[in-house]
Amino acid sequence: MAQSELARGKEGSATLVPSNTSAAEFLSELDAYLGTAKGLAEGTRRKYGRFVQGFLDGWCGDSSPNWQDLSIEDLRTYLRCELSSKRRRPSNSPIVALRAMLRFLAVRELVPPGLEETLPRIRRWRHATLPASLSSDDVDRLIKCVADAATFQPLRNTAIMLLLARTGMRATEVVHLSLDDVDWAGGIIHIRGAKSRRDRNLPLFRDVGRALVAYIKRERPSSSYRTIFLQAVTPARPFTDSSAISKIVRRALNRAGIVSARGAAHLLRHAAATNMLTRGTSFKNIADVLGHQSLQSTATYAKLDLPSLSRIAMPWPGERS
């Protein structure tokens, strides 16, 4: 059925527009489409791009993709290989990425519309797992690790770690944080154009403010860039993407001996949310701080509030009260 649908598209290929775009150009155009037309965040686009590039590497190699030769079996072969890999836990991401690619190709009239529905789905139960997080003691150990004067760029990395842990900022928000976004007198950090495409204000905690000032005055290279955090290599430039922040956190996790199966910078965002919840902060206020558009995204942290859950837990059947 799926194969015949693609075949029908090929038979009517007079209506399809041929393309001589190279794989690299196509990936750039896809990224722009996902950002402008679909409003996807930088990290999501980068993740989708990795999977699409992996498919293109296996399908057309160094040649320009000839989309009229694309078959459903080509897509499924890649997905079988990717989903059977033991390098990562099962995820819908490769499938979602290829669906996004097929929708983009359909918009450009390079393939018939509706092909994304022919790809398989992985059923995932909402709230079936616990979000990865760190304890307060783990967070304190991480901050001490990066603050060690023997480490690389200790003042910069301490400020980054405190921003993530105290405010729950996303790694990409830390990367793009500007000197103009900090209201020192008002004690406010202004987050612009974040993942939810809504600006929000966060409190500038005293320890975060002190760490930022220490980095800016004593360690930050002289630069015309207004972005706060710069690379240490010459010439000093802003980080290219949020993966640099995750690498800083991952190195600190390794030095602190904290074993985490998954996650890096996002672990500190989860820890900030869990800390707010255990202090009695409402879901609405937590959602506002984290920049969640839906309370459903915030509700997942309720599973980590074990003291509150223990008060409402029903006794196990047959257990004596």
Q: What residues are labeled active site?
A: 170, 195, 266, 269, 292, 301
Residue type at 92? Answer: N
Say if CB 6 and CB 112 are below 8 A apart.
yes
- Report the run of H or E that residue 188 belongs to, with start and end: strand 188-191
SS3 content of the chain, % helix, strand, coil (to 5): 55, 5, 40
Cα radius of gyration (the chain)? 23
Say if CB 268 and CB 164 are below 8 A apart.
yes
Residue appearing with tokens 């859950």: 309
At 190 the three-state DSSP class reads strand
97: left (phi over 0), alpha (psi -120 to 50) or beta: alpha
Kind of pairing, strands 200-203 and 182-183?
A: unpaired
Phi, psi of 154 (to 5 degrees): -65, -35
Say if CB 142 and CB 197 are below 8 A apart.
no
CA distance readout (Å), 183 to 83, 204, 237, 269: 46, 8, 23, 22
Say if CB 241 and CB 224 are below 8 A apart.
no
Say if CB 159 and CB 211 are below 8 A apart.
yes
Contacts of 146 (CB under 8 A, 6+ apart): 154, 157, 158, 160, 161, 248, 252
